[in-house]
Chain A
Amino acid sequence: MACIRRGLLGGVIAIALPAVQVAAEDLGKQIFLEGSGDMPACAVCHMLSDAGSEGEIGPNLDKLMPDEARVRIAVHDGVGVMPAFGEALTEAQIDAVARYVASVAGQ
């Protein structure tokens, strides 16, 4: 079940300036392509055409077309054999990469 909690945070995002959103998108794509610290890049394991990545270890994200919540919890908690990155990434980084993947997957 993919659910997005509505709340304060949602309100904040809604009034964020466009410039800030662009920056967040850049951050999301950067984490996807480069990882962060010890964390390998999502691109190593996942295919996502917007990022030009061809990883084949994890599901093809263009086909999966996950929503933001599904990406966020997968990255935070891990899924099956995909490790949890809740320690390696900050909440803001996880949000950014989740928003990025959800917005471009399948395009």
Chain B
Amino acid sequence: MDKMTIPRRHFLVGAAGTVCTGAVVGSGAGSALAQDTALPDYVAWKEPGAFIQHSENTLETLRGEIGSVVTPNDLLFVRNNLPSLTEDDVGDPEAWTVSVEGVSDPREITLAELKGLDVAQVASVLQCSGNGRGFFEHETSGSQWLTGAAGNVIWTGVPVASLVEALGGVADGVQWMTGTGGESIPDGIDPLSVMVERSVPIAAHEQALLAWNLNGEPLPLAHGGPLRLVVPGYYGVNNVKHVKRLAFTEAETQAKIQQSGYRIRDVGVEGAPDQPSMFEMNVKSWVTQPLMDASSGRVLVMGVALGGTEELATVEVSTDSGATWSEARFTGPDLGPYAWRSFVIATDLEPGTYRIASRATTVGGASQPEDFPPNHRGYGHNGWSAHAVDVTVS
């Protein structure tokens, strides 16, 4: 299970005179809790042994476990900013209400009513903004995710566009769609300091859903049940869990998670509203097999690739650290622009060591860079070099 490449940073900082305490070198788990720690109760239904536990609220799917077209619920990563709601908190899921504001006919609407309004399915990649953080060489706060804060899932819910239409359309001057999570914030804390409330540009509402179902099952609480705002093509943080309020607003929310959190800036710079926010995902791919060893001869190199918000055009694979590239073939169905596609290429490898990389390109021509520039909080890494794996063929 322990098939990870060691981020180069492990070597570099080691050489620079740094003591890495408790780092399980080779697992890439870094400061994660030990991998054999039992899963926390609220996710006890997940596959034991398939995750790296970075904290109680952050579980990373092992690289070798996510190769299929759709990521099953019990293998899907977990990343909760605040502790997940419990069944007691939620009560009867059908009676869950969301307050819709900034429309002609604002009102509270129950999950049961939403289910009767309209329905659609969307396949989309759910990916944490910090997926790949562990590949950056500078020191960053937060979970040191490598590849496993991502999954490809199928959501069922009501299109936000249908809901807006049913409520008479959005008010004039609206620029943002703002979702608010239902976690309660204890007295004595300024709610804006820790609440999960995110605004996305209003155009994103056209593809958004209020979803109650994940891969054919009622949306688990750990993933934001009973109702979650899903914004296909956008990083995980914008997909507000336990959504209680959906507001069409003229301004972005004042919540810290929007104003200074999840902003891309140079290393050493504080977060501020004028920096790019973690909205649309970028093009990315990574190999999921082989990860460490292979037998010589015919070796199938497989992986997954996403275009962010665009269809993919190609995925290329290199077995020589990027010196030469060959086009891989997509396997499985095309589930649309927001989903990932699995790919394969058959190689013929003699005994030796190989650095295997993949590089995806969208129909619009966006392509993964060799290196992704460092940013303070370690967001958005899609550099193909850091995502490459070192494989020994014998």
The size bracket of the interface on B is 35 or more
Whether the Cβ atoms of A6 and B141 lie closer than 8 Å is no
A4 and B57 CA atoms in complex are apart in Å by 24
Question: B82 to chain A: which residues have CB within 8 Å?
Answer: 57, 81
Whether the Cβ atoms of A7 and B189 lie closer than 8 Å is no
A40-B189, A84-B270 as given contacts; A73 in contact with B139, CB under 8 Å: yes
Question: B21 to chain A: which residues have CB within 8 Å?
Answer: 2-4, 67, 69
Whether the Cβ atoms of B18 and A81 lie closer than 8 Å is no
A57 and B166 CA atoms in complex are apart in Å by 36
CB distance from B374 to the nearest CB of A (A): 14
Partner of A59, one of B19, B55, B194, B256: B55
Question: A84 to chain B: which residues have CB within 8 Å?
Answer: 260, 270-271
Q: Which residue of A lies closest to B10 (CB)?
A: A1
Q: Does chain A have a CB within 8 A of B297? A: no
Q: Does chain A have a CB within 8 A of B333? A: no
0/1 string, B15-59, CB within 8 A of A gives 1: 001111111000000110100000000000000000000011100
Chain A interface mostly = loop
From 57 to 98 in chain A, residues with beta carbon under 8 angstroms from any chain B beta carbon are: 57, 59-60, 63-67, 69-70, 73-74, 76-84, 86-87
Whether the Cβ atoms of B20 and A76 lie closer than 8 Å is no
A46 and B141 CA atoms in complex are apart in Å by 17
Whether the Cβ atoms of B261 and A81 lie closer than 8 Å is yes
Whether the Cβ atoms of B186 and A57 lie closer than 8 Å is yes
Q: Does chain B have a CB within 8 A of A33? A: no
Partner of B20, one of A3, A56, A73, A78: A3
Question: A76 to chain B: which residues have CB within 8 Å?
Answer: 141
Question: A69 to chain B: which residues have CB within 8 Å?
Answer: 21, 139
Whether the Cβ atoms of A2 and B256 lie closer than 8 Å is no
Q: Does chain A have a CB within 8 A of B115? A: no
0/1 string, B121-151, CB within 8 A of A gives 1: 0000000000000100001111010000000
CB distance from B329 to the nearest CB of A (A): 36
A57-B185, A70-B31, A84-B270 as given contacts; A78 in contact with B22, CB under 8 Å: no
Question: A2 to chain B: which residues have CB within 8 Å?
Answer: 20-23, 30-31
Question: B261 to chain A: which residues have CB within 8 Å?
Answer: 78, 80-81, 83
A1-B20, A4-B21, A57-B189 as given contacts; A81 in contact with B194, CB under 8 Å: yes
Whether the Cβ atoms of A67 and B22 lie closer than 8 Å is yes
Partner of B144, one of A1, A5, A7, A40: A1
A77 and B140 CA atoms in complex are apart in Å by 8
Q: Which residue of A lies closest to B237 (CB)?
A: A80
Question: B7 to chain A: which residues have CB within 8 Å?
Answer: 1
0/1 string, A35-62, CB within 8 A of B gives 1: 0000010001100000000011101100
Whether the Cβ atoms of A3 and B188 lie closer than 8 Å is no
Could you show 13 A-B contacts with beta carbons less than 8 Å apart?
A: A1-B10, A4-B21, A5-B17, A44-B188, A45-B189, A57-B194, A65-B33, A67-B22, A77-B140, A77-B376, A81-B256, A82-B194, A83-B260
- 12 additional A-B pairs beyond A2-B22, A44-B186, A81-B194, beta carbons within 8 Å, are A1-B13, A4-B19, A6-B18, A55-B186, A57-B185, A57-B194, A64-B33, A64-B55, A73-B140, A77-B377, A78-B260, A80-B142
- List residues of chain A with CB under 8 Å of any chain B CB: 1-7, 40, 44-45, 55-57, 59-60, 63-67, 69-70, 73-74, 76-84, 86-87
